[in-house]
Amino acid sequence: MLSWAINFTAAMICIALILNLWRMVQGPSIQDRILALDTMCINSIALIILYGINMGTGLYFEAALLIAMMGFVSTSALCKYLLRGDLIE
Amino acid sequence: MLNDLIWIPLLPLLGTLVPLFASRFSRSACAFLTAGLPALALVLVLQLAPQVFEGETVRQSFGWIPQMGLELAFRLDGLALLFTLLILGIGLLVVLYARYYLSEKDSMGKFYAYLILFMFAMLGVVMSDNLIQLWMFWELTSISSFLLISFWGHKTEARKGARMALTITGAGGLALLAGVLLIGNVVGSYSLHDVLASGDLIREHAAYPVILVLVLLGAFTKSAQFPFHFWLPHAMAAPTPVSAYLHSATMVKAGIFLMARMYPVLSGTELWFLIVSMTGLATLLLGAYVALFKHDLKGLLAYSTVSHLGLITLLLGMGTELAAVAALFHIINHATFKASLFMAAGIIDHESGSRDMRQLNGLWKYMPYTATLAMVAAAAMAGVPLLNGFLSKEMFFAETLHQDSLGSLSWMVPVFATLGGVFSVAYSLRFIHDVFFNGEPINLPKTPHEPPRYMRVPVEILVALCLLVGVLPTFVIGDLLYTASAATLQGAVPEYSLAIWHGFNFPLLMSFIALAGGIAVYVNRKELFQFQAQFPENDPKLVFEAIIQMIHKQITRFMELAENGSLQRYSYMMLSLAMVMMAKPLLDLNATAGHRPQIPVDAISITGAVLLAIGALATVIWNRQRMVALVALSVVGLIVSLMFAKFSAPDLALTQLAVEVVTVILLMLALFFLPQTTPKESSPKRVARDLGIAAVIGGVIGTISYAMMTRPLESISTFFLENSKTGGGGTNVVNVILVDFRGFDTLGEITVLGIAALGIFKLIARMRLYMPASDGDGRPWSKDSHPLMLSVVSQSLLPLALLVSAYIFLRGHNMPGGGFIAGLITSVAIIQQYIAHGVDWIKARMKLDYQLMIGSGITIAALTGLGSWFFDRPFLTSWFDHFHLPLVGEFELASAMLFDLGVYLTVVGATMLILANLGKLTTSERPVLKEHD
């Protein structure tokens, strides 16, 4: 049952990632693309946690934690750039 | 301990620091303290002198790189003793003289430091017992003399003269190095002891002519022999104490010293005679002739020095033993009278404000005492009996008579020698008569008067020596000359007599012809000056500058061809070359795929590959829309770190994630200052070319990767995997490699990181850049500089991020993590605060000195490494043990953790120093664009 669920979820996440990519390429505005990147980060977190569940290990937890943190910083920096151009003022 | 030979050069080396500290005291105190250590060195030399007089060669050596035949070796034989006494004795007199010569504006400490540094270099040259070491000190004399000549750097002729001297003597030094290496190759040792014993071996070797020419090039350039003599007159732009020391007594004698030192090895052949004596003769005549026409006092003395150096070279070139003795004798005599003459010229310049002999007339009335001293010295230079110059000149004349190497033309040598003597008398006479008599001074800037009492003391001592040697030669100088000759000849010293009177003979006649002829030439100087005025004045400085500028132009043209500032061209050339080099071996590889079983492909990996490929393509396609390209690049970075995680490299995945975000922020900080839109620059042809190259390179790299990955690979990873726990005390192999197995590498890397960060800090400090008022689409920037939502969320993120950072740091030794990743996480957390709150807000709340952080990080890492020395272990040996505490339980402590702390601090400091300062470039007053413009 668990392996079926994992396979199903993985497929869904992959589709989500491809759709993110579609939005990233398609745009049309830069905000859309940044949003696509941010969602891609979130899907990556899911993928990594899923991989950890599948392998039965907690070894990948830190990577997911770091993507969560770094993804936020990256997105907020990109947005700040759009707002003010100047990141650190 | 002070009996060691090495202290003789070492004391002056320490002495270079003394004036730098002593210059804060009074000028006399500074001079006195400066003289201290060289004086002590002189005492050491005098202590050792009796041994040397007995014929002993005092030697001392230390291993340097014994595997390469390099050693730090010193020797004190007769020749070295003679030069050491000259260098230290005259050096001390010059220190005293310079005390009064330098003005208040000159930096006394700097001057003395250079002077003593030169003294050290010169002592090193004459005392070296190893040829490579000799060459090293030789180059040091060139460099320190450059510093001394250019001491008055505000004068253009000082800078140009110094550059010329350095170029000529430096080029000669390179030739000398080549010669020395060849000698070492022939003899099999660089030790002077071995080289001096293998004269026959070298002379009979096929490479002898090459060796001879190379070594002589070194000697001739240094000793200002024709055609390299022209740098010496231009070096007169130096302060006069420097001229008195370097350009009369010591440095220009280094070339002569080299010839004397290599005399037993290189002399005695037809080639030696031809090159050395003919060069010497030409220099002797040219110098003496030109000296007569110089109106500048120091110019006259400079050409006179050139001429006397030619005389010594000619003597050495003759190849007879007596001539070598005469050469050594003249070295001593020339040093004493020429140094005193330079000092006298300096006094005249100092007290009257001019060195032009057309202005300086009749100074006898104003400074009779100095005039007497200068006249005695000039008479010695002319070769007047009862003075030292007379004795060595007579020996010289006598030797020219015994010369028969030119066959039936041998009579020319004494004739030319006498002619040189005639001019030498004439310019000496001009020095005396023009300056001290010949009417009244014309338009002098100052009214001349006698110098301070102690400024004259060095001149008095030297002139007294001229007289003493001239009257009592055997008593004063006999022993020294004998041992020096013995050391130079490396064998029996011939019979010679230092008496003043040898009866009526040919040399005496030549002396009198020279005196009478000189007087005749001087009396008829008007005609001679008119004759000389017909020739166009060709200034060697202009020729030299023209050559330098031509070389510079050629190099610039070549550089513009190879390095035109176009990044596209560099990558085009580099990648093309790399492509050829990489593709070549692939042609020999028969099958691309190896036999290693392959992992089955799953859907997730395919998805990742698609994302990666399209992200990369999007970056390239949108390369002119920078923000979009940046977003596409972030996709690539994200997928790469996912791949690292999937293929068992969690450490790399964490590092990649952190580096990724820091890079994106860095890029955006720089993007702000760039134009918001990029024009299309590459022509279609160029795009096609670049696409072609990129495709081929990609294909080659892909093939290599595929071929590598399908083949079983044996590497040293197994060793690390096996020894990580037992040897380094950690289960995270990556971290153990970083902080333990390859700790020394890491120490180097964090040092480089720190230096790079400081370099960037220095580069961007005070930089002011254009700041755009609107974004790419022309919309003005938002007015809300720090949105509230962002500020609040970011602030609450900080403790969480720091906690994660601490966690990653602490567990690093056994689980994925470590100081580097933790450092990056901390930096990112702090940068987020900068982004959300701005510099001013941070400045008020967080006082972190990033430079101090870098410094302390590297210090901690280095000290951890040094710590192992206390336990008699090699640098950076790590230690670990397990402990037990109530509540905490079992835990491990390792010295590697302290090392990792150093890494952490350096990474945080460096990243923040770069990013925060790049961010601070924007000032508060930036242009505002109104909304309805």
Question: Is the complex ipTM higher than 0.85?
Answer: yes
How close does chain B come to A30, measured CA to CA in Å? 7
What is the reported pLDDT for B815? 81
Look up residue B884 and give its DSSP letter: E
Beta carbons of B395 and B421 less than 8 angstroms apart? no
Residue B661 has its nearest CB partner, among A40, A74, A79, at: A74
CB contact under 8 A, A30 and B628: yes
How close does chain A come to B102, measured CA to CA in Å? 53
Question: Tokens at residue B667, please?
Answer: 């890029």
Taking CA–CA distances from B666, the nearest residue in chain A reads A87
Give contacts of B836 with chain A, Cβ < 8 Å. Answer: 76
* A89 touches B: beta carbon within 8 Å: yes
Give contacts of A36 with chain B, Cβ < 8 Å. Answer: 631
Parallel, antiparallel or unpaired: strands B70-76 and B58-65? antiparallel
**In angstroms, rounded to a whole number, what is the distance separating the alpha carbons of residues B194 and B445?**
58
Residue A70 has its nearest CB partner, among B611, B661, B916, at: B661
Taking CA–CA distances from A35, the nearest residue in chain B reads B631
Beta carbons of B128 and B73 less than 8 angstroms apart? yes
**In angstroms, rounded to a whole number, what is the distance separating the alpha carbons of residues B149 and B162?**
5
Give contacts of A40 with chain B, Cβ < 8 Å. Answer: 611, 635, 638
CB contact under 8 A, A88 and B638: no
Q: Is the pLDDT of residue B174 over 50?
A: yes
**In angstroms, rounded to a whole number, what is the distance separating the alpha carbons of residues B744 and B174?**
36
What is the reported pLDDT for B923? 57
Q: Is the pLDDT of residue B283 over 90?
A: yes
CB contact under 8 A, A74 and B618: no
Task: List C-alpha distances in Å: B391 to B303, B325, B395, B397, B398.
Answer: 22, 12, 6, 10, 11
Beta carbons of B459 and B344 less than 8 angstroms apart? yes
**In angstroms, rounded to a whole number, what is the distance separating the alpha carbons of residues B481 and B85?**
12
Taking CA–CA distances from A70, the nearest residue in chain B reads B661
What is the reported pLDDT for A75? 93
Domains and CATH numbers, chain A: 2-84 (1.10.287)
Q: What is the average pLDDT across B509-532?
A: 88
Interface test with B, best of A32, A47, A82, A86 (most B CBs within 10 A): A86
What is the reported pLDDT for B2? 54
Q: Is the pLDDT of residue B532 over 60?
A: yes
CB contact under 8 A, A63 and B828: no
Which of the four pLDDT bands, split at 50, 70 and 90, describes residue B360? Answer: confident
Rg (CA), chain B: 37
How close does chain B come to A77, measured CA to CA in Å? 7
Q: Number of CB pairs < 8 Å for A and B?
A: 163
Q: Is the pLDDT of residue B216 over 80?
A: yes
Give SS3 for B62.
Answer: strand
Give contacts of A83 with chain B, Cβ < 8 Å. Answer: 781-782, 784, 787
Q: Give the number of other Cβ atoms within 10 Å of residue B649's Cβ.
A: 16
Q: What is the average pLDDT across B544-548?
A: 87
Task: List C-alpha distances in Å: B743 to B341, B719, B801, B804.
Answer: 62, 16, 27, 25
**In angstroms, rounded to a whole number, what is the distance separating the alpha carbons of residues B305 and B289?**
12
Helix (H) or strand (E) holding A81: helix A61-84
CB contact under 8 A, B635 and A88: no
Q: E strands within B814-907? A: 880-885, 889-894
Q: Give the number of other Cβ atoms within 10 Å of residue B382's Cβ.
A: 25
Interface subset of A 2-21, CB within 8 angstroms of B: 10-11, 14, 17-18, 21
Each residue of B84-140: pLDDT tens digit?
999 999 999 999 999 999 988 888 899 999 999 999 999 999 999 999 999 999 999
Is the peptide bond preceding residue B227 cis, with omega within 30 degrees of 0? yes
Give contacts of A82 with chain B, Cβ < 8 Å. Answer: 627, 775
Task: List C-alpha distances in Å: B475 to A30, B90, B458, B471, B502.
Answer: 98, 20, 22, 9, 17
Interface test with A, best of B620, B648, B661 (most A CBs within 10 A): B661
Q: What is the average pLDDT across B285-311?
A: 92
CB contact under 8 A, A63 and B817: no
CB contact under 8 A, B604 and A14: yes
Residue B638 has its nearest CB partner, among A44, A83, A87, at: A44
Task: List C-alpha distances in Å: B637 to A74, B779, B915.
Answer: 12, 30, 20
Each residue of B568-602: pLDDT tens digit?
888 888 988 988 888 888 888 777 777 888 888 88
CB contact under 8 A, B641 and A67: yes
CB contact under 8 A, A88 and B781: no
Q: What is the average pLDDT across B165-177?
A: 94
CB contact under 8 A, B828 and A83: no
Look up residue B780 and give its DSSP letter: B
Backbone φ and ψ of B128, nearest 5°: -65, 140
Which of the four pLDDT bands, split at 50, 70 and 90, describes residue B478? Answer: confident
Residue A70 has its nearest CB partner, among B642, B660, B817, at: B660
Residue A69 has its nearest CB partner, among B668, B787, B804, at: B804
Q: Is the pLDDT of residue B756 over 90?
A: yes
What is the reported pLDDT for B582? 86
**In angstroms, rounded to a whole number, what is the distance separating the alpha carbons of residues B560 and B145?**
34
Q: Is the pLDDT of residue B930 over 50?
A: no
Q: Is the pLDDT of residue B767 over 60?
A: yes
Q: Give the number of other Cβ atoms within 10 Å of residue B209's Cβ.
A: 12
Task: List C-alpha distances in Å: B729 to B151, B167, B807, B811, B822.
Answer: 59, 57, 19, 13, 20
CB contact under 8 A, B664 and A10: no
Taking CA–CA distances from B834, the nearest residue in chain A reads A88
Question: CA nearest B712: which of B597, B623, B579?
Answer: B597
CB contact under 8 A, B782 and A83: yes
Look up residue B359 and give its DSSP letter: T
* A26 touches B: beta carbon within 8 Å: no
Each residue of B866-907: pLDDT tens digit?
888 887 777 777 777 777 777 777 777 778 888 889 999 999
Q: What is the largest CA-CA distance in chain B?
A: 115
- Which residue ranges in chain A fall short of pLDDT 50? none
Residue B661 has its nearest CB partner, among A48, A73, A79, at: A73
Taking CA–CA distances from A15, the nearest residue in chain B reads B607
**In angstroms, rounded to a whole number, what is the distance separating the alpha carbons of residues B731 and B78?**
67
* Residues B201, B204, B206: CA angle, nearest 5 degrees: 110
Give contacts of B638 with chain A, Cβ < 8 Å. Answer: 37, 40-41, 44, 67
* A55 touches B: beta carbon within 8 Å: no
Give SS3 for B592.
Answer: coil
| CA contacts within 13 A on the Cβ side of B738 | 27
CB contact under 8 A, A17 and B614: no
* A50 touches B: beta carbon within 8 Å: no
Question: Tokens at residue B426, please?
Answer: 């004439």
Give contacts of B642 with chain A, Cβ < 8 Å. Answer: 44, 47-48
Q: What is the average pLDDT across B386-406?
A: 86
Q: Which residues of B84-117 are buried (b: 16+ CB within 10 A; e: fewer)?
A: bbbbbbbbbbbbbbbbbbbeeeeebbebbbbbbb
Residue A88 has its nearest CB partner, among B607, B627, B916, at: B916
Residue B627 has its nearest CB partner, among A14, A30, A66, at: A30
